[in-house]
Structure 1
Amino acid sequence: MKKVLIIGSGAREHALAQTFCRSEQVETVLVAPGNDGMQDIGIQCIATSATDLSGLVDLALREKVDLTFVGNEEPLTLGIVDLFQQAGLRIFGPSKLAAQLEGSKSFTKNILQQYNIPTARSVTVSSLREAQQQVGTFGIPVVLKYDGLALGKGVTIATTQEEVAAYLQDLYTHNPEDKLVIESYMAGVEFSIFSLVGENGVMVHAPLAQDHKRRYDGDKGPNTGGMGAYSPVRWLGDEVYQQAIKTLVVPTVNAMAQEGMPFVGVLYTGVMLTDEGPKVVEFNVRFGDPEAQVVLPQFQGDFYQVIDELIGGRQPQPRWQTKDVYVGVVLAASGYPQSPVKGAAVPSVDDVSPLIINYAGVKAGKANGGRVATIVAHGSSATLAQQKVYNKIDTLKTELQYRHDIAYQAVQSENKRI
């Protein structure tokens, strides 16, 4: 029987651990560091930080781990895959060089432009003066992207010149040498493709997902790490899905190989469906959160086997359910994202049964971070799945906050309102 190590602490990692636990080959899933909500049979949390790379190598060697799967981005951009491989450990994720697809937006833009992969027009600047000179050529609204990692909150869509000026002044007052990507605004429908990429370029693709970044109903308020998601996105259709894979995902994987930094791991392609067709918004080099919580439960079969085959450069034949739509709603601490308040009671597994709950910022049954849990329901339509999840959440006696309209576009489509 196999032992798997998941690196990370959030609801995404909880969903990954549950998925590996369903494998007949897997006996134990270790999660480092995990959180107190991960009480499932077969899951053990180990208090090793996700950025303690040498400590994680030692853990994997000591526990005789058969496979490590990296959940979040920071250890990937720090080079954890390189270190594990040097130690003779099997790990699924991109090298430090390949992880630049998420770690540096300017790197990604250069790759996209060099290989003519559709994306928004952009320029990278590294000073206030240069930013002020360039931003005027983009019009309003304009997209401003911090070059490095920003926990899913590094993008600002400025809708007035005053907002642009204030953003630039603040950025370069505190970070005078930071790179900034200035990008033309793309209008359209945004969705996510998760591709599991193995050695020799073999890959499989998960069902489409769509997340909701804004804090409040109606896509209002500040950007967050994600307030909910649903999958599959039936109303977009298979043709859009296949076109995005053909024109965006495959060319990027091929480009990385040509650049001498082949990509292995989870490639998250954020796509904007514009009037000119699908274009890349961004790449991440791991599963999204909360998208993982609605995508992974759809997997049917042995997830360990699929990852094992990908690492070996063999083409897997995974199965995904096609009957239902999965809707996940994030419960967040009051004050999130600016100033989350700790200490609120968190619903238990019994409180939400029979729905799925994945825990994130939880300690001793209390909120200990911004996003605290994701509750997931599924039904034969997005309308039914949405009703199920909110019928349950609305009965909970909780101080935690949540949006009330997750999956609204799918529901509107099913009811012929878009």
Structure 2
Amino acid sequence: MDTLSNLSESKTHYFFTIIFTLILLIFFFFFSASDDTSPAISYRSLPGHLPSPPNRLPPVFPGARFASKLVSRNGANSGRAEEKMDSCDVFDGRWVVDQDLDPFYKQGSCPFVDDAFNCFKNGRPDSDYLKLKWKPHACEIPRFNGLKMLKMLRGKRMVFVGDSLNRNMWESLVCSLRASLVDKTRVFEVSDRRQFRSQGFYSFKFKDFNCSIDFIKSPFLVQEWKFSDKAGTRRETLRLDMMEGSYDKYYDADFIVFNTGHWWTHQKTFKGKNYFQEGDHIYTKLEVAEAYKRALSTWARWVDSNINSTRTTVFFRGYSASHFKGGQWNSGGSCDGETKPITNEAHLAPYPWMMRVLESVLSQMKTKVIYLNITKMTDYRKDGHPSVFRQAGSMGRGGFQDCSHWCLPGVPDYWNEVLYAVLVKNQRKFGRD
């Protein structure tokens, strides 16, 4: 009897031991799964990135995803981010006044600014346009840090390819990076101004970091062409099916920032007559929007076929807004006297057709392209152009006003702040000093 009793008690004890162990395992598993101890990312996801698990970098912007489409869970105009937000459109925001704000480089301090962008040198008297910073509605982006960016660019090459608006951005970046150095003589020009003007190539080397920031002029991205007609007259066309020939100078760079846009409203292209060419065929009439799409498709195919995305990161900077009143650049258009930005979003211009074409092309690419959609953030800044201060002593006497490019320092500095934010966000992929 005692033996049976002892056996029963032993079985009971064994049963409760198993039950207690199972409860502990379930309790441990539940709390381990719900307690995420991964290091937090310092700021919200940049537009175009897919949401990713903590402590794992998201992929570089896939072509099928666009900054203009990704907004916070509160909506594009909520003005605040939820505590946990999967993605943020850093190009949906507003310009805010900060009287204590210092530009990334002081007016007149950078010798590399073209006279056309040097509004301070050219006599612009107001400076409130330098007291504005870009603030996304739904998140924060890190303040530009030139020294940190140089460390991330150590041993690398960044190339800007496009028109003079990309030169605007390129000069802004060179000046912003230079300002972070104690010994500024350690930055030197690889080619001089005369060569740059004639050949469309310009490069600055940051010697202590063995990196270069280059600009290559290619306003259409595709090839401008000349041929002789039956009468022997030399005529110009634009080869929509052929990349501009400078691609061998940049295809293997570490970072390439492309743009095109403003030249598609040029006098030669806006009528679309006898200018666009594919193969031996010259179109007697082709709509500019269609020609633009074909040119971008040529660019996209070239990128997909020739860029090694494991080595090279591709950016495309969107259309920068112009603010001509009373005409266009060559017909009396003006923007002088503008000292304040647009503050009411309802007063912004319609979204440019060029960007819709670009987004359609990017969505079909195999290569991941980081889309810098600056159109909206520039549309607010009617106050940021050189206007009559485009050359020393001009003050509006004759010539035309510049309401397309931007004063430096100025608006393009914040395009580069977003570019910097991408590098910070992906510094594990791009390399960390």
**TM-score normalised per structure 1:** 0.29
More strand by proportion, 1 or 2? 1
Larger radius of gyration: 2
**TM-score normalised per structure 2:** 0.28
